[in-house]
Chain A
Amino acid sequence: MNEDGEARLAKAAMKSLLVSAPESLKADLKRRVRNRKPAPSIWEGRFAFGQSFWAYGAGGAFAAAAIGILILRAVPERRIATEAAKRPARRIEIVVPQTLQDLWADDDGEDNDEI
């Protein structure tokens, strides 16, 4: 049997079911369809979430995570500074080498009075 035949067979089966179904069931189904509310839009859903208790919880969790990240990032620097303060100064950088390198420019290498 091809697909067209299967579709027609399914349609006939549905018709026979509707005919054989009790009137009370049909009426109940119709009532439910009428009373069904339309699905809320995505914006209404977001506003509803913003006004709910869970929104406060999510905001709090986000803030706590941000503070935690800041603290975790600050801790290694503080640890290094503490260790550096304990041991005698070994390495002192006074001039950033990049600054010295900026003094130099590409040159033609010629030996003349031009500049």
Chain B
Amino acid sequence: MTRFKLAVFLALTSVPLQAKPRAPLPDAGALVLKALAGPSTGYAAVERVQVFLPGKKPKAIKVNITALPGRVRREVLPSKKKAAPLIQVRDREKAPAGLSRLRALYDLTVSTGGVVAKRKTWKIELRLKSGALRRALWMDRDSGLLMKRETYRDDGSLVRRERLVQLALPAPVDPASLKTEASSGPWMPDGFVFTGENGATRRYSNGLESYEIRLVDGKAAVSGDLAEDDASRILESASK
């Protein structure tokens, strides 16, 4: 080996040593707790929600989000000018309760998540005990804010993607805009509203997807376009 070759060899082998060490992966539980609690300041964001129905064109809605610690306001802007916006103001769930539900249903794994809305993220995969991937969450490394969430079918195809496309954090938010009225009935996933009831069956929809809550022998049962954690949360709130 000539001196030149030796120098090149040493230079190449020393490259990994000079590389910046990777940030250690955080604990999945701690990340989820931070995400469920939300940022400690107010923020404003624009979210795009995409739904992928089999054999149909993808559909999307644009949601304006404003939030203060513990409370979130979501305003779905209609695609047609004539339609009225859908506004939902909701309190955040207590983070430990949400984490215990997710842990009961899924195995959580953390990996690096790339950049979403110009922010570095961690990615958490939520796999059913059978191994099937049900959800993937992207969380802001600094604030813990949930930046992106994807939901998958049993066959692995994408059902739904919610992604922040613009974010101002921190941002001044008027507390008066987050006033909420006491709501009755079980919890509903974001964007869903009560659309009607037929006997012991109550129906909910977001315009594309729907689910039903039925009372069978005094016990509530839920079925429809829902991930397991959403279905579980609905049943918990329905039984209260």
Residue positions of A touching B, CB distance < 8 A: 90-95, 97, 99-109, 111-115
Q: Are A104 and B79 in contact (CB under 8 A)?
A: yes
Q: Are A97 and B79 in contact (CB under 8 A)?
A: no
Contacting residues of chain B (29-75) with chain A, CB-CB under 8 angstroms: 46, 48, 50-52, 57-62
A-B contact pairs, 13 of them (CB 8 A): A90-B199, A99-B207, A100-B207, A102-B80, A103-B61, A103-B83, A105-B59, A105-B60, A105-B79, A106-B60, A112-B165, A113-B117, A115-B166
In the complex, identify which listed stretch (B6-14, B189-197, B213-221) lies at the interface while the others stay far away. B189-197
Please give the distance in Å from B18's CB to the nearest CB on chain A. Answer: 32
User: CA of A103 to CA of B88 in the docked complex: distance in angstroms?
Assistant: 14
User: CA of A105 to CA of B59 in the docked complex: distance in angstroms?
Assistant: 5
1/0 per position for B191-211, CB-CB distance to A under 8 A?
Answer: 001111111000001111000
Q: Please classify the interface of chain A as helix (H, G, I), strand (E, B), loop, or mixed, using the class held by over half of its residues.
A: loop
Please give the distance in Å from A106's CB to the nearest CB on chain B. Answer: 5
A-B contact count (CB 8 A): 88
Known: A109-B52, A115-B166. A104 touches B208 (CB 8 A): yes
Additional A-B contact list (5), CB under 8 Å, known A97-B195, A100-B193, A106-B59: A99-B83, A104-B59, A106-B58, A113-B117, A114-B165
Known: A97-B207, A107-B50, A107-B60. A102 touches B83 (CB 8 A): yes
Q: Cβ of B86 < 8 Å from any Cβ of A?
A: yes
B84 — nearest CB in chain A belongs to which residue? A99
User: CA of A113 to CA of B16 in the docked complex: distance in angstroms?
Assistant: 33
Q: Are B193 and A107 in contact (CB under 8 A)?
A: no
> Which of A100, A102, A111 is B205 in contact with, Cβ under 8 Å?
A100
Contacts of B163 in A (CB 8 A): 111, 113
Which of B52, B58, B61, B206 has the most chain A CB atoms closer than 10 A to its own CB?
A: B58
> Which of A90, A93, A109, A113 is B58 in contact with, Cβ under 8 Å?
A109
> Which of A91, A104, A108 is B197 in contact with, Cβ under 8 Å?
A91
Contacts of A114 in B (CB 8 A): 165
Contacts of B234 in A (CB 8 A): none
Please give the distance in Å from A65's CB to the nearest CB on chain B. Answer: 38
Q: Are A95 and B195 in contact (CB under 8 A)?
A: yes
Please give the distance in Å from B224's CB to the nearest CB on chain A. Answer: 14
